[in-house]
Amino acid sequence: MKTFRVALLANLKKNAPHWEGMPEDQWDDLDSETTIQAVSDAIRAGGHTCEFLEGDITIIDTVRKFKPDICFNLCESHSGNAREAQVPAILEKLGIPYTGSKVLCLALTLDKPMTKRVLTYHDLPTPDFQTFERVDEPLDAKMKFSLFVKPSQEGTGMGVSAKSIVKDETELRQQVRIMIEHYHQAALVETFIEGREVTVGMVGNLVGPVARRMPHDEKLPRIQAGLRFFPPLEVDLTPYLETDVVYDNRLKVALADQLNYLCPAPLEEDQVDELNWLAAAVFRVTGALDVARVDFRLNANEGWKPYILEINPLPGLSPGISDIVIEAAADGVSHTELVNMILETSLQRYGLIS
């Protein structure tokens, strides 16, 4: 294996800006020093040179000084509605290769309603939805309670809690108000999918055409060659089933090491096939590259029909904690191997290795 100069680009939680009245979960998306250390160790274990560079505006100078062959991108950035696309946009301008999805995909998928519009166009199953830019917008007739209210442009369960499940007009307006006033963005309201919580991680790139609509005909080949799927992970929510449970910020961040993850999720082979196919389809229509994780809910009231909640083209890589890391481990792929698999997929895509 050839060796490369790799710049690891990420936003460290401890370097993030703070301000008065900042929501407590504001920077839960960002990386810890432990994660950065583990990812750089993994890249070095692959035989490469690796240096961490903070993914803020200083990157314009630091990355040019370091002169990497490729950047390993984990930047979530701090502000702006397309923030995950900011560093990749700089790298595009500088002509420096980087791992993972590009500007359009990163900007699109950070916006859940926009992503859902694309999924809907391709007839991919995602819960019915409506966005609210004002608290008093009338509710569409197709939107039947219970509903689920979340911010349009956050991740890591931010702004999500048991209160997100709303059962009537009063609760709906209350939650929508919180999203608009607290998170300063449109509220996304979805049909509440009661059921199981499953996520599918994958590494690779699709081969074949990517601009067509999904085939309706079941007999047509399902295009997913080139992707390696890890076994689905289920978040076992049963211990927290006091009332209605969601995989919220408290569960994701505070209890990450106490949660019971079922991996591989106890699913039939044809259910896994269906999830993989849907995950590949989402990967394809959002233009994802190299790595992603797709979150689903399986509807208890429709024979566990899978509904796509979102795609994460920058899945967390915290050893032993992040979903895709757990999934890879269930397939015998270590954290070091996973990181190098992503890097090699990307190097291949840029034609830097064959």
Ligand X SMILES: Nc1ncnc2c1ncn2[C@@H]1O[C@H](COP(=O)(O)OP(=O)(O)O)[C@@H](O)[C@H]1O
Q: Is 154 a residue that touches Mg ion (CB under 5 A)?
A: no
**Residue closer to ligand X, measured from CB, 8 or 202:** 202
Q: Give the range of 2-10, 100-108, 155-163, 216-224 binding ligand X by CB under 6 A.
A: 155-163
- 155 binds ligand X, rule: CB under 6 A: yes
Sign of CA dihedral 211, 213, 214, 218: negative
To the nearest whole angstrom, how small is the minimum distance from the Cβ of residue 155 to Mg ion? 7
Does 29 bind Mg ion (CB under 5 A)? Our answer is: no
Count of residues of this chain found to bind ligand X when the rule CB under 6 A is applied = 20
The residue length of the chain stands at 354
Task: List the one residue from 88, 127, 204, 232 that touches ligand X (CB under 6 A).
Answer: 127
Which residues are CB-neighbours of 74 under 8 A, at least 6 positions away? 8, 9, 10, 11, 31, 39, 55, 314, 317
Size of the residue set binding Mg ion (CB under 5 A): 1
Cα angle 342-346-348, degrees, rounded to a multiple of 5: 120
Among 154, 295, 323, 327, binds Mg ion (CB under 5 A): 295
- Strand 187-191 vs strand 129-132: parallel, antiparallel, or unpaired? antiparallel
Rounded to the nearest 5 degrees, what angle is found at the Cα of 147, between the Cα atoms of 146 and 153? 165
Please say whether the beta carbons of 191 and 144 come within 8 A: yes
Q: Cα–Cα distance between 221 and 234 in angstroms, integer?
A: 28
Nearer to Mg ion, 52 or 129 (CB): 129
Of the CA atoms within 13 Å of residue 188, those in its CB half-sphere come to 25
- Among 156, 175, 345, 346, which residue interacts with ligand X (rule: CB under 6 A)? 156
* Residues 6 or more apart whose Cβ sits within 8 Å of residue 140: 130
Distances, alpha carbon 68 to alpha carbons 63, 258, 340, in Å:
7, 38, 16
148 sits near ligand X (criterion: CB under 6 A): yes
Does 297 interact with ligand X (rule: CB under 6 A)? yes
Residue 102 contact among ligand X, Mg ion, none, beta carbon within 5 to 8 Å by kind:
none
* CB 193 to ligand X: min, Å: 4
Q: How far is the CB of 84 from ligand X (least distance, A)?
A: 12
> How far apart (Å, rounded) are the C-alpha atoms in residues 328 and 315?
12
Instruction: Measure the CA–CA gap between 111 and 134, rounded to whole angstroms.
Output: 18
Closest separation in Å from C-beta 154 to ligand X = 6
Q: Report the nearest approach of Mg ion to the CB of residue 293 (Å).
A: 8
Residue 8 in tokens: 């690891």
Q: What distance, in Å, lies between the first and last C-alpha atoms of the chain?
A: 10
Q: Which residue is nearest to ligand X (CB)?
A: 247
CB crowding 28-42: b at 16 or more within 10 Å, else e = bbbbeeebbebbbeb
Cβ nearer to ligand X, comparing 193 with 265:
193
Q: How far is the CB of 231 from ligand X (least distance, A)?
A: 18
Q: Which partner, Mg ion, ligand X, none, binds residue 297 by CB below 5 to 8 Å per kind? A: ligand X
Site track 222-261 with ligand X (rule: CB under 6 A), x = hit? ------------------------xx--------------
By the criterion CB under 6 A, which residues form the site for ligand X? Answer: 127, 148, 150, 154-158, 160, 190-193, 197, 246-247, 295, 297, 309-310
